[in-house]
Structure 1
Amino acid sequence: MRIAHRISTVLSSLLVVTLVACAPSSKHASTGEYIDDTMITGKVKAALVADPDLKATEINVETYKGTVQLSGFVSAPEHIPKAVQLTRGIEGVKNVKNDIAVKR
Protein backbone atom coordinates (compact mmCIF):
# COMPACT_ATOMS: atom_id res chain seq x y z
CA MET A 1 0.00 0.00 0.00
CA ARG A 2 2.79 2.44 0.78
CA ILE A 3 4.32 1.99 -2.66
CA ALA A 4 0.97 2.65 -4.36
CA HIS A 5 0.52 5.78 -2.25
CA ARG A 6 3.99 7.07 -3.15
CA ILE A 7 3.47 6.40 -6.85
CA SER A 8 0.13 8.18 -6.68
CA THR A 9 1.74 11.17 -4.96
CA VAL A 10 4.55 11.37 -7.52
CA LEU A 11 2.15 11.17 -10.47
CA SER A 12 -0.11 13.82 -8.94
CA SER A 13 2.86 16.11 -8.42
CA LEU A 14 3.98 15.65 -12.03
CA LEU A 15 0.48 16.45 -13.25
CA VAL A 16 0.35 19.66 -11.22
CA VAL A 17 3.80 20.73 -12.45
CA THR A 18 2.79 20.03 -16.05
CA LEU A 19 -0.40 22.08 -15.77
CA VAL A 20 1.41 25.00 -14.14
CA ALA A 21 4.06 24.95 -16.87
CA CYS A 22 1.37 25.37 -19.55
CA ALA A 23 -0.25 28.34 -17.85
CA PRO A 24 0.21 31.74 -19.49
CA SER A 25 2.15 34.53 -17.86
CA SER A 26 2.46 38.22 -18.63
CA LYS A 27 5.52 37.58 -20.82
CA HIS A 28 4.60 34.23 -22.38
CA ALA A 29 1.48 33.14 -24.22
CA SER A 30 -0.19 29.84 -23.45
CA THR A 31 -0.39 27.17 -26.12
CA GLY A 32 -3.98 28.13 -26.90
CA GLU A 33 -3.12 31.82 -27.18
CA TYR A 34 -0.22 30.98 -29.48
CA ILE A 35 -2.51 28.98 -31.76
CA ASP A 36 -5.09 31.80 -31.74
CA ASP A 37 -2.41 34.34 -32.62
CA THR A 38 -1.19 32.14 -35.47
CA MET A 39 -4.72 31.89 -36.85
CA ILE A 40 -5.20 35.67 -36.61
CA THR A 41 -1.88 36.28 -38.39
CA GLY A 42 -2.90 33.92 -41.18
CA LYS A 43 -6.30 35.59 -41.60
CA VAL A 44 -4.74 39.07 -41.69
CA LYS A 45 -2.18 38.01 -44.31
CA ALA A 46 -4.93 36.42 -46.40
CA ALA A 47 -6.98 39.63 -46.25
CA LEU A 48 -3.96 41.69 -47.31
CA VAL A 49 -3.21 39.32 -50.20
CA ALA A 50 -6.84 39.48 -51.38
CA ASP A 51 -6.71 43.27 -51.67
CA PRO A 52 -5.46 44.26 -55.15
CA ASP A 53 -4.05 47.62 -54.02
CA LEU A 54 -1.81 46.29 -51.26
CA LYS A 55 1.43 44.42 -51.83
CA ALA A 56 1.08 41.91 -49.03
CA THR A 57 4.64 40.66 -49.47
CA GLU A 58 5.92 44.04 -48.27
CA ILE A 59 3.74 44.15 -45.12
CA ASN A 60 4.85 42.15 -42.09
CA VAL A 61 2.23 40.86 -39.66
CA GLU A 62 2.96 39.79 -36.09
CA THR A 63 0.35 38.90 -33.47
CA TYR A 64 0.73 38.60 -29.70
CA LYS A 65 -2.27 38.00 -27.46
CA GLY A 66 -4.67 39.43 -30.05
CA THR A 67 -2.66 42.58 -30.73
CA VAL A 68 -1.56 42.74 -34.36
CA GLN A 69 1.50 44.74 -35.36
CA LEU A 70 1.74 45.79 -38.99
CA SER A 71 5.10 46.91 -40.34
CA GLY A 72 6.71 47.29 -43.72
CA PHE A 73 6.01 49.46 -46.71
CA VAL A 74 3.16 50.51 -49.00
CA SER A 75 3.32 52.47 -52.24
CA ALA A 76 0.74 55.17 -51.38
CA PRO A 77 -0.31 56.95 -48.17
CA GLU A 78 -3.96 55.93 -48.60
CA HIS A 79 -2.97 52.25 -48.38
CA ILE A 80 -1.96 52.57 -44.71
CA PRO A 81 -5.48 53.14 -43.31
CA LYS A 82 -6.80 50.50 -45.71
CA ALA A 83 -4.43 47.88 -44.28
CA VAL A 84 -5.35 48.87 -40.73
CA GLN A 85 -9.08 48.72 -41.53
CA LEU A 86 -8.73 45.26 -43.08
CA THR A 87 -6.86 44.08 -40.01
CA ARG A 88 -9.44 45.45 -37.57
CA GLY A 89 -12.14 43.55 -39.46
CA ILE A 90 -10.58 40.18 -38.64
CA GLU A 91 -12.25 38.22 -35.86
CA GLY A 92 -10.08 37.97 -32.74
CA VAL A 93 -8.08 41.16 -33.34
CA LYS A 94 -8.12 43.21 -30.14
CA ASN A 95 -5.75 46.01 -31.12
CA VAL A 96 -3.69 47.09 -34.13
CA LYS A 97 -0.24 48.70 -33.92
CA ASN A 98 0.58 50.44 -37.15
CA ASP A 99 4.25 50.79 -38.13
CA ILE A 100 3.70 50.87 -41.90
CA ALA A 101 5.65 53.46 -43.86
CA VAL A 102 5.22 54.83 -47.38
CA LYS A 103 7.91 53.62 -49.78
CA ARG A 104 9.70 56.46 -51.54
Structure 2
Amino acid sequence: MNNDIDQLPEQAQRRTLMTPAFRIATAAALALTLAACGQPEQDATIGQKLDTAIAATEKKADELGERAEATADRAQANAAEATRDARVSAGETTAQMGDFIDDAAITAAVSARLAGDPDLSAIKIDVDTRDGKVTLSGPAPSEAARARAAELAISVKGVLGIDNQLVVTSS
Protein backbone atom coordinates (compact mmCIF):
# COMPACT_ATOMS: atom_id res chain seq x y z
CA MET A 1 0.00 0.00 0.00
CA ASN A 2 1.60 3.27 -1.12
CA ASN A 3 0.36 6.38 0.72
CA ASP A 4 1.72 9.84 1.63
CA ILE A 5 3.40 8.60 4.83
CA ASP A 6 5.43 6.02 2.86
CA GLN A 7 6.97 8.83 0.83
CA LEU A 8 8.24 10.82 3.85
CA PRO A 9 11.83 10.31 5.00
CA GLU A 10 12.07 7.68 7.75
CA GLN A 11 12.87 10.21 10.50
CA ALA A 12 9.89 12.39 9.52
CA GLN A 13 7.66 9.27 9.50
CA ARG A 14 8.74 8.41 13.05
CA ARG A 15 8.19 11.99 14.20
CA THR A 16 4.72 12.04 12.62
CA LEU A 17 3.79 8.68 14.09
CA MET A 18 4.95 9.73 17.58
CA THR A 19 2.77 12.82 17.95
CA PRO A 20 -0.04 12.55 20.51
CA ALA A 21 -2.58 13.81 17.99
CA PHE A 22 -1.63 11.06 15.54
CA ARG A 23 -1.86 8.45 18.28
CA ILE A 24 -5.29 9.66 19.37
CA ALA A 25 -6.55 9.73 15.79
CA THR A 26 -5.22 6.21 15.20
CA ALA A 27 -6.82 4.91 18.39
CA ALA A 28 -10.13 6.54 17.50
CA ALA A 29 -10.05 5.07 13.97
CA LEU A 30 -9.25 1.64 15.36
CA ALA A 31 -12.09 1.92 17.88
CA LEU A 32 -14.59 2.91 15.21
CA THR A 33 -13.44 0.11 12.90
CA LEU A 34 -13.78 -2.53 15.58
CA ALA A 35 -17.11 -1.14 16.73
CA ALA A 36 -18.41 -1.32 13.18
CA CYS A 37 -17.30 -4.94 12.89
CA GLY A 38 -19.36 -5.83 15.93
CA GLN A 39 -16.60 -7.55 17.87
CA PRO A 40 -17.63 -7.07 21.50
CA GLU A 41 -14.66 -9.09 22.85
CA GLN A 42 -12.36 -6.30 21.59
CA ASP A 43 -14.25 -3.55 23.52
CA ALA A 44 -12.00 -3.87 26.56
CA THR A 45 -8.89 -3.49 24.42
CA ILE A 46 -10.33 -0.51 22.57
CA GLY A 47 -11.42 1.04 25.84
CA GLN A 48 -7.95 0.54 27.26
CA LYS A 49 -6.38 2.11 24.18
CA LEU A 50 -8.72 5.07 24.39
CA ASP A 51 -8.00 5.44 28.10
CA THR A 52 -4.27 5.36 27.36
CA ALA A 53 -4.68 7.94 24.61
CA ILE A 54 -6.79 10.17 26.86
CA ALA A 55 -4.25 9.85 29.69
CA ALA A 56 -1.44 10.78 27.31
CA THR A 57 -3.40 13.79 26.09
CA GLU A 58 -4.11 14.91 29.65
CA LYS A 59 -0.44 14.48 30.57
CA LYS A 60 0.63 16.58 27.59
CA ALA A 61 -1.95 19.23 28.49
CA ASP A 62 -0.58 19.32 32.06
CA GLU A 63 2.98 19.69 30.74
CA LEU A 64 1.92 22.52 28.45
CA GLY A 65 0.09 24.19 31.32
CA GLU A 66 3.21 23.99 33.49
CA ARG A 67 5.34 25.46 30.70
CA ALA A 68 2.82 28.26 30.23
CA GLU A 69 2.95 28.99 33.96
CA ALA A 70 6.76 29.08 33.90
CA THR A 71 6.67 31.39 30.89
CA ALA A 72 4.21 33.68 32.66
CA ASP A 73 6.46 33.74 35.74
CA ARG A 74 9.47 34.67 33.60
CA ALA A 75 7.45 37.37 31.87
CA GLN A 76 6.37 38.78 35.23
CA ALA A 77 9.99 38.80 36.46
CA ASN A 78 11.12 40.51 33.25
CA ALA A 79 8.38 43.12 33.63
CA ALA A 80 9.43 43.78 37.24
CA GLU A 81 13.05 44.19 36.14
CA ALA A 82 12.02 46.54 33.34
CA THR A 83 9.99 48.57 35.83
CA ARG A 84 12.99 48.81 38.18
CA ASP A 85 15.21 49.87 35.27
CA ALA A 86 12.68 52.51 34.22
CA ARG A 87 12.49 53.86 37.77
CA VAL A 88 16.28 54.07 37.99
CA SER A 89 16.40 55.80 34.63
CA ALA A 90 13.64 58.19 35.69
CA GLY A 91 15.52 58.86 38.92
CA GLU A 92 18.66 59.72 36.96
CA THR A 93 16.66 62.03 34.72
CA THR A 94 15.08 63.66 37.76
CA ALA A 95 18.53 64.14 39.29
CA GLN A 96 19.73 65.72 36.05
CA MET A 97 16.66 67.95 36.02
CA GLY A 98 17.43 68.84 39.64
CA ASP A 99 20.94 69.86 38.59
CA PHE A 100 19.50 72.01 35.82
CA ILE A 101 16.98 73.59 38.18
CA ASP A 102 19.71 74.19 40.76
CA ASP A 103 21.92 75.85 38.11
CA ALA A 104 19.00 78.03 37.01
CA ALA A 105 18.27 78.97 40.63
CA ILE A 106 21.94 79.84 41.19
CA THR A 107 22.00 81.98 38.04
CA ALA A 108 18.88 83.83 39.17
CA ALA A 109 20.23 84.37 42.69
CA VAL A 110 23.61 85.67 41.45
CA SER A 111 21.87 87.98 38.96
CA ALA A 112 19.64 89.31 41.74
CA ARG A 113 22.63 89.96 44.02
CA LEU A 114 24.45 91.80 41.25
CA ALA A 115 21.35 93.85 40.42
CA GLY A 116 20.96 94.75 44.10
CA ASP A 117 24.48 96.14 44.39
CA PRO A 118 24.60 99.92 43.75
CA ASP A 119 27.97 99.77 41.94
CA LEU A 120 27.03 96.81 39.72
CA SER A 121 23.32 97.31 39.03
CA ALA A 122 23.89 99.78 36.21
CA ILE A 123 26.05 97.42 34.14
CA LYS A 124 25.05 94.37 32.17
CA ILE A 125 26.81 91.32 33.61
CA ASP A 126 26.00 87.99 31.99
CA VAL A 127 25.70 85.11 34.46
CA ASP A 128 25.89 81.48 33.35
CA THR A 129 25.92 78.46 35.67
CA ARG A 130 26.88 74.90 34.83
CA ASP A 131 27.13 72.22 37.52
CA GLY A 132 27.42 74.87 40.22
CA LYS A 133 30.24 76.78 38.52
CA VAL A 134 29.28 80.41 37.74
CA THR A 135 30.76 82.28 34.79
CA LEU A 136 30.56 86.07 34.88
CA SER A 137 31.11 87.89 31.60
CA GLY A 138 30.70 91.43 30.31
CA PRO A 139 32.12 94.83 31.23
CA ALA A 140 33.12 96.07 34.69
CA PRO A 141 33.71 99.77 35.43
CA SER A 142 36.72 99.04 37.66
CA GLU A 143 38.87 96.29 39.11
CA ALA A 144 37.07 96.80 42.46
CA ALA A 145 33.68 96.26 40.74
CA ARG A 146 35.03 93.13 39.04
CA ALA A 147 36.21 91.72 42.37
CA ARG A 148 32.93 92.73 44.09
CA ALA A 149 30.91 90.82 41.43
CA ALA A 150 32.95 87.66 42.13
CA GLU A 151 32.45 88.08 45.91
CA LEU A 152 28.69 88.44 45.49
CA ALA A 153 28.51 85.41 43.20
CA ILE A 154 30.53 83.12 45.48
CA SER A 155 28.32 84.05 48.44
CA VAL A 156 25.26 82.47 46.78
CA LYS A 157 24.32 79.07 48.18
CA GLY A 158 25.22 76.23 45.79
CA VAL A 159 27.99 78.07 43.93
CA LEU A 160 30.98 75.74 43.67
CA GLY A 161 33.31 78.03 41.75
CA ILE A 162 33.63 81.30 39.86
CA ASP A 163 35.03 81.96 36.39
CA ASN A 164 35.30 85.75 36.41
CA GLN A 165 35.59 86.85 32.79
CA LEU A 166 34.53 90.45 33.47
CA VAL A 167 36.60 92.92 31.50
CA VAL A 168 37.51 96.24 33.13
CA THR A 169 36.66 99.08 30.78
CA SER A 170 38.15 102.49 31.56
CA SER A 171 35.85 105.33 30.75
TM band (smaller chain): 0.7 to 0.9
Give yes or no for the alignment of 1:41 onto 2:107.
yes
2:79 alignment partner in structure 1: 10
- Paired residue for 2:137, among 64, 71, 83? 71
TM-score normalised to structure 1 length: 0.77
Point out the more displaced range, 78-87 or 11-20: 11-20
Q: Structure 2: how far apart are the matches of 1:19 and 1:75?
A: 49
| Larger strand percent | 1
| Larger helix percent | 2
Note closer, same or farther for the CA distance 1:10–1:88 as it changes in structure 2 (3 Å cut).
Answer: same
Q: Please give the root-mean-square deviation of Cα atoms over the aligned residues, in Å.
A: 2.6
Point out the more displaced range, 39-48 or 57-66: 57-66
Q: Structure 2: how far apart are the matches of 1:59 and 1:15?
A: 45
Matches for 1:1-104 after TM superposition, within 5 Å: 1=69, 2-3=71-72, 5-7=74-76, 9-10=78-79, 12-17=81-86, 19-20=88-89, 23=92, 30-55=96-121, 58-104=124-170
Identical residues among aligned pairs (%): 30
Structure 2 gaps of 5+ residues are 1-68
Question: Of the two structures, which has the highest relative contact order with CA contacts closer than 8 Å and spacing of 6 or more?
Answer: 1
Q: Structure 1: how far apart are the matches of 2:91 and 2:97?
A: 7
Indicate if the aligned counterparts of 2:139 and 2:167 stay in contact, CA closer than 8 A.
Answer: yes
Indicate if the aligned counterparts of 1:73 and 1:102 stay in contact, CA closer than 8 A.
Answer: yes
CA deviations 1:7-58 (Å, max 9, x no partner) are 552353154145236538xxxx812111111111111010001011114661
What secondary structure, in the 3-state scheme, does the structure 2 residue paired with 1:53 have? coil
Structure 1 gaps of 5+ residues are none
Note closer, same or farther for the CA distance 1:47–1:56 as it changes in structure 2 (3 Å cut).
Answer: farther
Indicate if the aligned counterparts of 2:123 and 2:140 stay in contact, CA closer than 8 A.
Answer: no
TM-score normalised to structure 2 length: 0.50
In the comparison of the two structures, how many residue pairs are matched?
100
